[in-house]
Amino acid sequence: MPGNIIVRNNIIRDNPVWFPVSGLDGSGSICAWPGTTKPVTERLLSGFRIEGNTIINPSAFGILLRNVDHAVVRDNIIINPGSKKLEDSYNGVPMWMTFAGIGLTNVSDAQVTDNQFVLSSPWCKRAVDIADSCDKPSIEAARNDEIPAGR
């Protein structure tokens, strides 16, 4: 599996997600989501740095990580995540209720810091979602700012 990947200083606008391929698979404008035929607890990818990106109107998530160890997500601007209401469901929950600016699933040893979010979509009300499957004590989520829409 690849590792030590940097995604830096990109502008991503209006990234469409019409329906999830497999649950939330691929629902992020920047997405590290290794496919598996069944849920796993192993961290399959290691060493991600996602920083300095501007993401505008992502249909679901701005950034989505799964099965990742050692990640840094910082200094990103995510405007209007969840810009599209998806009618599908995930684990019996409407897809749009799972949206966040940044989503983490099966992640450990991560820093999610100094990001800015404009949560103007009625389909997304969370800046950062850390799933129960994550090693929460090893994840730092701090100094992330929610900016009111229109400012």
Predicted local confidence at residue 39, as pLDDT: 59
**How many residues in total does the chain contain?**
151
Dump pLDDT digits (tens) for 16-59.
765 554 455 667 899 887 766 555 677 888 999 999 999 999 98
Q: With 90 as the cut, is the pLDDT of residue 142 above it?
A: yes
Parse the chain into domains and list their residue ranges.
3-136
User: What 3-state class would DSSP assign to 137?
Assistant: helix
User: What 3-state class would DSSP assign to 46?
Assistant: strand
* Backbone φ, ψ for residue 95 (5° rounding): -50, -45
Tell me the mean pLDDT in the region 98-111: 92
User: What 3-state class would DSSP assign to 117?
Assistant: strand
